[in-house]
Amino acid sequence: MSADISTAFAPSDEGELAALIVERFRARAPLRIIGGGTRVQTGHLPGAALATSRLAGVVTYEPGEMTLIVRPGTTMDEIQPMLAAEGQALAFEPPDMRGLLGGNGAPTIGGVVAANASGPRRLLAGACRDHLLGIRFVDGQGRILKNGGRVMKNVTGLDLSKLFCGAHGTLGVLTEMVLKTLPAMPERATLALPGLTAAEAVAVFSAALATPFEVSGAAYRDGTAWLRIEGLGPQLAYRRDRLLALLGDRRAEVLEAGATVDLWQGLRDVAHFAGAETPLWRLLVKPTDAPAAVRALEALGGACSLDWGGGLIWYCGPALPDAVRRIAPHATLVRRGGLQGPAFPPQAATIAALSAGLRRSFDPAGILNPGLMEG
Amino acid sequence: MSGQFILPNRIARDEERNPVSSIAMPEPDPRVLARAAEITAALRAVLPDDAVISDLEETRAYECDALTAYRCPPLAVVLPRTTAEVAAAMRICHDLRVPVVPRGAGTSLAGGALPTADCVVIGTMRLRDVLEIDTRNRFIRVQTGVTNLSVSAELEPHGFFYAPDPSSQLACTIAGNIAMNSGGAHCLKYGVTTNNLLGATVVLTTGEVIELGGPEMAPMGLDLMGLLCGSEGQLGIVTEATLKILPRPEGARPVLIGFDDAEVAGECVARIIRSGVLPVAIEYMDEPCLRAVEAFANAGYPKCAAVLIVEVEGAPEEIAFQIARVREIADALNPVEFRESRNADDAAAIWKGRKSAFGAMGRLGDYICLDGTVPVGQLPYTLKMIGELSRQHGLEVANVFHAGDGNMHPLILFNANKPGDLERAEAFGADILRLCVRVGGCLTGEHGVGIEKRDLMGDQYDPADLAVQMEVKDVFDPRWLLNPAKVFPLPASQPYRERAAAE
């Protein structure tokens, strides 16, 4: 198989992809699926590269129906301006990981969906999986299949879209995705609160997120907490003033629209931990558990930042995997920085067995990104 | 469907009427029937006395759900109070190879909880505890037998609510909401159950218990919870759930917009959505529905071809701004009326007719309520075609639905006492659902497939698309004991069921 590693396939349509996978299935020959190559590192996996670059293009975009149908190799650079021209966006705010991981490809929508990649607005708008309405894919036997549809409410049969979103290509190769688009709120501002501990920041987040003012970002790093507010017309000023009143004596600086865009793009892309080789972890916790976890992690060296109101901890530091996972079991190693071992967290035995059963069912020969998600 | 609890499908007014048979169910397994006494004894041995019901007079209370035209008393009913009791019952059914039909409150309009003579119904209605309310981390954890409405009632003193609000919310339970991925009137802004479910305790067919998700904001590994939500009892029984809770909005205000042309009303919906205003609800009623509502509830709606009710949320200034935007959009389309609500009484008056729509339709006769969903841009065409189908089938239809997300609820009127009328109504309904699929939509937006849409699944999915779903069921339920005759057309599932039975 070692000769295979330098091979690269780039099928130009679904039929060609299916034919290729049929062949690979028969030969039990693995494939590494690559979109822009900016998100999950698959270089260590066996097999030939399968690029989605030619499975590209927007099939349909209907702003009045808030739906986008798109092929996986379509770049985010193509999609985002097209939606913005209609005043819409992918509300889950997918991050760009190039700064963190040093990739120089163009991020694709297929990669975003395969990784369930969701940024700060996940707090208010839900994750990528909440915006995925339907899929077409080729499974590990080369069958061309579909699930879900293009409407916002659909309970017809089992929902396989959710399963594929975040499966990192281990169940099938996506060939078409239907995504819900939403109006982008035209007005935005940020409240910046300096001089806070992580515990104080999470308390501020909990208070702000208990209000109906639709806080669309709640992040913290280096002693400063930020709350992003958005709205339509006069909503913004109203929400800002009500939140400032809620914060009472706490000193808060208001950042206007331009500064808000830059700040949250940086937080989304975790720019503060970019350009380093240190291991980087993504940990999911109950928000009020975050302050204790941050203390424990930083005691092992390195630094943390918070997103999702404290529910997401980014930890950039030298701690060993076992130590990190003792503090927060739901930990994914995003940048290896020389660390060995599985990137994804281990699962309870019954759940691991069900997941393995599902993989066998979609990919009986184990040829699609084999082992990528093994904990 | 918003607000008040509405009596389900009224297609079986005559309680004694024999079940019609246009939707087939498999023959009960004689091997299971022969062991009925052994099965109930095994259940009684591990469960409290009052948790097992096998007397025919008592099991009859569970012979149907809200799809009342189809009835069959089960072999036994189990009503556990804990996850451990659900697990014990599941383990026995697994070991003795007895089919299991999970049941919430029995409000399914699709026959999702219809028993078979050889099954044990496992009901979740006694799992009634609220386990944890955590407003700092924004979740509530409940046993799944609590009703949808009581979840929001529990949260009210804390200033929070639970967003999915199916019209049966007074009676329906969280277990059923998860099984069917229920929606409601406010999905346009808040999503459906799957978007508001954070974690689940699931009893598998073997009796093993797994914990999926939790207060964390993304799944660990494959999103099994996303797969489970809406799986209609095919994969397991959810006994506890962690639900996302939202701060209550400061206020909400509806406006009523009347149009003399149904297509223009559809255009108005698309333009509102495009404008950037995201109302919490956009409801649509057509002329036959308006007539019925007027006669029943005297709602004072304009006499016109279509009425929209658009509801926006926020503080008074925010509401005023959003309503002004909606008004600007509507005015460009020459509405016959644009009615704003200045206070709570005005608002209630606007909602009054919509909330009484199902009751009003019920006064006109029996009806079937459909649930197909179409892309919003296809609403005008779909409405026109439904009108044509109505003439072809010779049955009247009224449309009242969630227009913002294209989730239609055509109500087909018929006379249950007239021989053949139900079958005609079902045939008309099937044509409407095929139409929904043809224009890019789906068979069911929020009610589920159950048995009602089971035999139409081939219109939406190719054989391979159905096969891959049945392979997924195989992973969770290799013996095909969980709700085995639902969701998948019987000829499609037959090889799986037969293989499982032969093992």
What is the spatial distance between Cα A328 and Cα A289, in angstroms, rounded to a whole number?
9
A8-9 and A48-51 strand pairing: parallel
- Compute the count of residue pairs across chains A and B with CB atoms less than 8 Å apart: 251
State the CATH class of domain A271-335: alpha beta
Shortest Cα distance, chain B CAs vs residue A282, angstroms: 11
Please tell me which residue of chain A has the smallest CA distance to B207.
A350
Q: Quick check: B248 pLDDT over 60?
A: yes
Shortest Cα distance, chain A CAs vs residue B394, angstroms: 28
Write the pLDDT tens digit of every residue in B290-324: 999 998 888 899 999 999 999 999 999 899 999 99
Shortest Cα distance, chain A CAs vs residue B37, angstroms: 32
Please tell me which residue of chain A has the smallest CA distance to B226.
A162
Domain check: are B275 and B337 in the same one? yes
Q: In what order do the strands lie in the sheet with B337-340?
A: B337-340, B252-259, B306-313, B281-286, B397-402, B410-414, B366-369
The last residue of a domain, from among B219, B247, B275: B247
Band of residue B489 on the pLDDT scale cut at 50, 70, 90? very high
What is the spatial distance between Cα A316 and Cα A338, in angstroms, rounded to a whole number?
13
Band of residue A5 on the pLDDT scale cut at 50, 70, 90? low
What is the spatial distance between Cα B408 and Cα B404, in angstroms, rounded to a whole number?
10
User: Which positions in chain A touch B247 (Cβ < 8 Å)?
Assistant: 209-212
Please tell me which residue of chain A has the smallest CA distance to B276.
A183
What is the spatial distance between Cα B503 and Cα B498, in angstroms, rounded to a whole number?
9
Average pLDDT over residues A286-302: 98
A187-268 and A271-335, same CATH topology: yes
State the fold for domain A1-184: 3.30.465
Give pLDDT, residue A43.
66
Q: Please answer yes or no on whether A311 and B226 come within 8 Å at the CB atom.
A: no
The last residue of a domain, from among B201, B228, B247: B247
User: Which positions in chain A touch B191 (Cβ < 8 Å)?
Assistant: 126, 130
Shortest Cα distance, chain B CAs vs residue A74, angstroms: 23
Q: What's B282's domain CATH number?
A: 3.30.70.2190
- Each domain of chain A, given as residue ranges in start order, spans 1-184, 187-268, 271-335
Give the ranges where B156-286 is alpha helix by DSSP (H).
Answer: 174-180, 187-190, 224-228, 262-275
Q: Please answer yes or no on whether B270 and A116 come within 8 Å at the CB atom.
A: no
B 325-364 near A (Cβ less than 8 A): 325
State the fold for domain A187-268: Alpha-Beta Plaits (3.30.70)
Q: Please answer yes or no on whether A186 and B276 come within 8 Å at the CB atom.
A: yes
B 455-474 near A (Cβ less than 8 A): 457, 460-462, 464-466, 468-469, 471-474
Q: Which helix (H) or strand (E) holds B131?
A: strand B130-134
Q: Please answer yes or no on whether A284 and B465 come within 8 Å at the CB atom.
A: no
Write the pLDDT tens digit of every residue in B323-355: 999 999 999 999 999 999 989 999 999 998 888
Please tell me which residue of chain B has the smallest CA distance to A373.
B221
> Greater confidence, B364 or B202?
B202
Domain annotation covers residue B377:
yes
Q: Please answer yes or no on whether B222 and A373 come within 8 Å at the CB atom.
A: yes
User: Which positions in chain B touch A312 (Cβ < 8 Å)?
Assistant: 217
Q: Quick check: B11 pLDDT over 60?
A: no
Q: Please answer yes or no on whether A157 and B160 come within 8 Å at the CB atom.
A: no
Average pLDDT over residues B97-101: 98
Mutation target among B155, B280, B442 for the A interface, most CBs of A within 10 A: B442
Domain annotation covers residue B40:
yes
Of residues B318, B445, B449, nearest to A157 (C-beta): B449
Residue A229 contacts residue A240 (beta carbons within 8 Å):
yes
Average pLDDT over residues B156-167: 95
Domain annotation covers residue B5:
no
3-state SS string over A130-144? HHEEEEEEEECCCCE
pTM, entire model: 0.95
The alpha carbon dihedral of B261, B263, B265, B268 has a sign of negative
Q: What's B236's domain CATH number?
A: 3.30.465.10
Domain annotation covers residue B85:
yes
Q: Quick check: B16 pLDDT over 70?
A: no
| Average pLDDT, rounded, for chain A | 95
Domain check: are B135 and B238 in the same one? yes
Domain annotation covers residue B22:
no
Tell me which residue range forms the domain holding B331.
252-357
Domain annotation covers residue B21:
no
Shortest Cα distance, chain B CAs vs residue A32, angstroms: 18
Q: How many domains does chain B have?
A: 5
Question: For chain A, how big is the Rg over CA atoms in Å?
Answer: 21
Q: Quick check: B440 pLDDT over 90?
A: yes
Mutation target among B216, B245, B444, B472 for the A interface, most CBs of A within 10 A: B216
Of residues B212, B220, B445, nearest to A153 (C-beta): B445
Domain annotation covers residue B2:
no
Q: Which helix (H) or strand (E) holds B495?
A: helix B490-502
Give pLDDT, residue A181.
96
Please tell me which residue of chain A has the smallest CA distance to B192.
A153
Domain check: are B135 and B210 in the same one? yes
Write the pLDDT tens digit of every residue in B352-361: 888 888 888 8
Q: For residue A311, give the 3-state DSSP assignment.
A: coil
Please tell me which residue of chain B has the smallest CA distance to A331.
B220
**Does the beta carbon of B156 lie under 8 angstroms from any beta carbon of chain A?**
no
Domain check: are B224 and B159 in the same one? yes
Q: Please answer yes or no on whether A152 and B373 come within 8 Å at the CB atom.
A: yes
Write the pLDDT tens digit of every residue in A10-50: 999 999 999 999 999 999 999 999 999 898 776 678 889 99
**Does the beta carbon of B450 lie under 8 angstroms from any beta carbon of chain A?**
no
Please tell me which residue of chain B has the smallest CA distance to A139.
B468
Q: Please answer yes or no on whether A234 and B194 come within 8 Å at the CB atom.
A: no
Give pLDDT, residue B78.
98
How far from the centroid of its chain's Cα atoms is residue B323's Cα? 30
Q: Please answer yes or no on whether A116 and B223 come within 8 Å at the CB atom.
A: yes
Give pLDDT, residue B2.
33
What is the spatial distance between Cα B216 and Cα A313, in angstroms, rounded to a whole number?
11
Q: Please answer yes or no on whether A160 and B227 come within 8 Å at the CB atom.
A: yes
Write the pLDDT tens digit of every residue in B363-372: 888 898 999 9
Domain check: are B263 and B277 in the same one? yes
Average pLDDT over residues B222-227: 98
Domain check: are B309 and B372 in the same one? no
Domain check: are B41 and B145 in the same one? no
Give pLDDT, residue A375.
64
C-alpha distances in Å from residue B293, one per residue of A27, B332, B345, B359, B403: 65, 27, 18, 8, 18
Give pLDDT, residue A236.
95
C-alpha distances in Å from residue B436, one per residue of A61, A177, A286, A367, B111: 20, 20, 42, 37, 21
User: Would you say how long chain B is, in residues?
Assistant: 503
Domain check: are B263 and B352 in the same one? yes
**Does the beta carbon of B244 lie under 8 angstroms from any beta carbon of chain A?**
no
Q: Quick check: B10 pLDDT over 60?
A: no
Q: Can you spell out the DSSP letters for A51-120?
A: E-TTS--EEEEEGGGTEEEE-TT-BHHHHHHHHHTTTEE-TT-----HHHH---S--BHHHHHHHT---T
Residue B122 contacts residue B90 (beta carbons within 8 Å):
yes
Question: For chain B, how big is the Rg over CA atoms in Å?
Answer: 23
Write the pLDDT tens digit of every residue in A192-224: 999 999 999 999 999 999 999 999 999 999 999
Shortest Cα distance, chain B CAs vs residue A153, angstroms: 5
Domain check: are B210 and B144 in the same one? yes
Query: How many CB atoms sit inside 10 A of residue B11's CB?
Result: 24
The last residue of a domain, from among B302, B329, B357: B357
